Amino acid sequence: MTKQRLVILGGGESGVGTALLGKAKGYEVFVSDKGKIKEKYKQVLIHNEIEWEDESHTESKILNADIVMKSPGIPDKVELIKQIRKKGISVVSEIEFASKFTEATIVGITGSNGKTTTATLTHHILKEALNVGLAGNIGDSFAKQVLEEDFKNYVLEISSFQLDDIIDFKPNIAVLLNITPDHLDRYDYKFENYIKSKFRIAMNQTKDDYLIYDADDEVIVEHLKNNPVQSTLLPFSLVKPIKNGAYLDNENIRLTINNNEIIMPTAKIKLEGNHNTKNAMAASTVAHLLKIRKQTIRESLENFQAVEHRLEEVLKINKVQYINDSKATNVNATYYALESMSAPTVWIVGGVDKGNNYEELFPFVNEKVKAIICLGVDNEKLMNTFGNMVDVIIETQYMQEAVKIAYKLSESGDSVLLSPACASFDLFENYEDRGRQFKDAVRNL
């Protein structure tokens, strides 16, 4: 019997993980990356005798595939992808491919914001009692973990791009945190397309599966009304009582599943802010479903450390607090950051604009922001949008310089906030690189 040919486009974490799993499962594997494959990944491919190429795509070696796994970063508009699809070759994402080879219980978490925090928090609670892996958009690839660890449970942080390329993938528990305009450049600038993409997380679910979602999010509620799903619904809310699910009752989270109730005081939750109360509700609902003890859930919420690059307090210098929120790659994430600021703020913003509408930030900028530093290759839109709202608006293309300017502009009691509301690819490798450069620059002051 001839081996099935698996072609992988993109030699990053998910690509190399899929290559290893594919090879172990008897596929003939070829990895092709239009950019440069990082040395550490090259070594893994060489060591495992997997054929690869970088800095080009050889079509003859790609268009003869039985199945193509493409990196989530490659849009469907690319000519090569169109050719692959035209030939009727199946195009899948890593989560689709890897899920075929595990019997594990899968918790899939998506949303425009809060995915990493909620996935990390959910894993933090579950690992106290279960054999559980954390993967998807975070940490070691899902495929690699299926091959090497084969956990009984997985918490997956899943982006809309990964969901676009699923066929049969089905999480037993799906979490939909929120939907706000993001990545519209990938969805023909139609919000509706992006919404549908997020809801793909539930498309294969049955009544035995669960969908945990934010009942305060009008976009989600409206879409559910018009496009009902098969799953059992477990909503959470800050403003209305919920019979089956979680809600805020005075200062307590009240979580009920089939008459089994757990009450948790929000004052004890390590993460601050309304958005984090919601993240905690989502994570606790997952844990409660998977029969984690109430005491364990409470303790885990009390001792959880925040995620790097997400409202991360770096240092206080001359009574000025420097905060790294580099993970805020869209407007809604920056909305949460500015909402949580209690001191006058010097705000560092900018990068690759994904079709942003900054209007929802205006009240916070007027009320809390004393100066704006635009850090991007093209800052024109930011300058035009915010120029009249603050006394000082300055642009730069260097993190080091941005931090020095912030240092000069801030006074005792202020905060300096890096919350870019944009992607990082114009000046940085990724948002982590941007966040680390910010932290280094602050420490060098």
Binding residues, as ranges, are 111-117
Query: Tokens standing for 404?
Result: 């020095």
Dihedral angle, C-alpha 354, 360, 363, 367, nearest 10 °: -40
Give me the phi and psi of 155, to 5 degrees please.
Answer: -105, 120
Strand extents, DSSP E, 223-302: 232-237, 245-249, 252-257, 260-265
Asked whether the beta carbons of 132 and 102 are under 8 A apart, the reply is no
Contact residues for 149 (Cβ-Cβ < 8 A; gap 6+): 133
Helix (H) or strand (E) holding 63: none
**Residue positions counted in the chain:** 445
Query: Tokens standing for 292?
Result: 């984690």
Annotated binding site for ATP: 111-117
Long-range contacts of 396-402 (CB under 8 A, 24+ apart): 397/427, 399/375, 399/427, 399/428, 399/434, 399/437, 399/438, 399/441, 400/437, 400/441, 400/444, 402/348, 402/373, 402/375, 402/441
Asked whether the beta carbons of 385 and 358 are under 8 A apart, the reply is yes
Which of 402, 445, 392 has its CA nearest to residue 427?
Answer: 402
Q: Fill in the amino acid letter for 423.
A: A
Which of 222, 282, 17 has its CA nearest to residue 137?
Answer: 17
C-alpha distance from residue 387 to each of 13, 182, 336, 337, 341 (Å) = 40, 24, 22, 20, 21
